[in-house]
Amino acid sequence: MAKLVDQFGQPLESGTLDQPQTSRLTTLHRQVAGHPSRGINPARLNSILESAEQGNLISQHELFRDMEERDGHVFSELSKRKRAVIKLNWDIVPPRNPSKEEENLTAYVKELLQDMSDFEDMQFDALDGIGHGFSALELQWQRIGSDWTVQCANHRPQTWFQLDLETRNELRLRDSSPDGEKLQPFGWMLHIHRAMSGYTARSGLARVLVWPYLFKHFSVGDLAEFLDIYGLPLRIGKFPSQATETEKATLWRAVAGIGHNAAGIIPASMAIEFQEAAQGSEKPFQAMIDWCEKTQSKAITGSTLGMDTGRGGIGEGLSNIQNEIRLDIRDSDCKQLAGTITRSLIYPLLAINKGWADIRRCPRFVYDTLEAEDLKTYSDSLPKLVSIGMKIPTQWAHEKLRIPQPADNEDVLATQAAQPATPATDKPKATTKAALAALSASQSDGKTAFPDQDAIDGALADLDATLQPQVEAWLKPAVEALTKASTAEAALELLASENPLVADSVLIEAVARAMFIAELVGADAVLQELGE
């Protein structure tokens, strides 16, 4: 019988799913986190980074954890980047040209993920790898009926792991051995997030962000010292030359305490003078802090949009460019995390429950990163393009505008139906003027109320009937010419050279006939009024 293997080819042993791997390594749970950011300086920081490259990841990840806690700007920017991903809709899609079995497996695993109440938390914890370079979630399995499902995914600190000595790329649990303990098959959702290429220890943003953090740390300390020294007036105590040491000590305590207590006592022979506060500026310190925060923002989100907006604003064009950069970074995060979920969660669920062994044909987890196009632009453009004969698939329009296709028997929006037209006669389609005349022409005795108007309307109807074939002969090739042309100039040339125009003789004769009838009717109406 074939043995079940995980996504890395490691065989699944009996009893592996019964308990988490770290339940046996109790020393890891008793570890207390260190804080290497205390008293950090360039020499110590360089030592921490070199140690991580050699496989000892503890200090590097403890330092970055301190940075997230102590630097509100780093925390805010990383939080934006994580939440930009987890707010998106997701789906499970089958492989290319799926079989019926693969479609059924896709629906099955989608239901399992939808039933996981903490799936959003799993995504958030996995994105902790953006800064650290990797994030490890230990899967705790449970059996419900005949199915194995993930009960919870516990985020484990990066300090619990080390790199193997041979490749310095494989993450292993620290178990007091030089090479560490290999991760248990199907026991982990391990997300390695690559902000940079290279060894795992160098793949996260931590190594980029530590230097701006260090410079900012110094600048904030210098600014605090500046405000402490230059923000208070200078206090000078004066004592007579014959003062004793006890009297001098009393004066010193009064000078030192009066700045905070605003009260003190000294002998009458002594005095305290307040000098004007020393002149200085905080601008050099603030400029350094701003530079550090802008560098951090560019490293995390790809732009300084939030900072620039709060300090005078930026142009619309630059704002659009920075927004596109933000979306590019978000889409990259989505693809990396989706691949991890497919390998480390979907494949184990199918392998354990359905015996599925072909990871190449495994259903894939995908995020919906498509942005809806501008509805107003498309609503103006599409009718015009359709009117000139362009063939536009409705499915394409629905996808562009992010409007779902209606389900069977689902109500859809529709425009108000037009009023039914006047019944057609043996003449060509009636014009608007003829229709209005017809509404006012009938009387109870069947006679016409306005015979002169009827005559004019009849002439106009004859004019329509005469010119209709000419217009149709011109319109059809005109539309074909417009669809063939690639530019507006080419379309005009085709219209001018290859399409027939309405014959001049036909047009002149039809218009002259209508004008003649109108003149006769007008003259007859005048004579009738004079006769009355």
- The secondary structure of 272-289, three-state, reads EEEECCCCCCCHHHHHHH
Q: According to the model, what pLDDT value does residue 361 have?
A: 92
Calculate Rg over the CA atoms of the chain.
41
Q: According to the model, what pLDDT value does residue 501 have?
A: 52
Q: According to the model, what pLDDT value does residue 315 have?
A: 56
Please give the Cα distance from 235 to 274 (Å, whole number): 5
Domain ranges in the chain? 233-276, 375-405, 432-531
The answer to whether residues 467 and 510 touch, using CB atoms and an 8 Å cutoff, is yes
Q: According to the model, what pLDDT value does residue 429 have?
A: 46
Please give the Cα distance from 108 to 351 (Å, whole number): 13
Please give the Cα distance from 41 to 36 (Å, whole number): 10
Candidates 37, 158, 135, 152; CA nearest to 82 is 135
Q: According to the model, what pLDDT value does residue 19 have?
A: 86
Candidates 406, 405, 400; CA nearest to 377 is 400
The answer to whether residues 485 and 494 touch, using CB atoms and an 8 Å cutoff, is yes
Dump the DSSP string for 133-153: SEEEEEEEEEEETTEEEEEEE
The number of residues making up the chain comes to: 532
Residues 6 or more apart whose Cβ sits within 8 Å of residue 102: 94, 95, 361, 363
Q: According to the model, what pLDDT value does residue 276 have?
A: 59
Instruction: Report CA-CA distances (Å) from 525 to 140, 181, 443, 521.
Output: 99, 110, 20, 6
pLDDT in 10s for each residue of the chain, 532 residues: 456 666 666 666 656 787 889 988 888 888 888 899 888 888 999 999 999 988 889 999 999 999 999 999 999 999 999 999 999 999 999 999 999 999 999 999 999 999 998 999 999 999 999 999 999 999 999 998 888 999 999 999 999 999 998 888 899 999 888 889 999 989 999 999 999 888 889 899 999 999 999 888 888 776 666 666 665 666 777 888 888 888 888 888 887 777 666 566 667 777 766 655 555 566 777 888 888 999 999 999 988 766 655 555 555 667 778 788 888 999 999 999 999 999 999 999 999 999 888 889 999 999 998 877 777 888 888 888 888 888 888 888 887 887 888 887 888 887 765 555 555 444 444 444 554 454 455 444 455 556 666 666 666 666 666 666 666 666 677 777 667 776 767 766 766 665 555 455 666 776 777 777 777 777 777 777 676 5
Q: According to the model, what pLDDT value does residue 8 have?
A: 60
Cβ neighbours, 10 Å, residue 70: 13
One-letter identity of residue 182 = K
The answer to whether residues 343 and 7 touch, using CB atoms and an 8 Å cutoff, is yes
pTM (two decimals): 0.66
93 - beta bridge partners?
364
Q: According to the model, what pLDDT value does residue 233 have?
A: 66
3-state secondary structure of 155: strand
Q: According to the model, what pLDDT value does residue 307 have?
A: 61
Q: According to the model, what pLDDT value does residue 7 have?
A: 61
Q: According to the model, what pLDDT value does residue 444 have?
A: 43
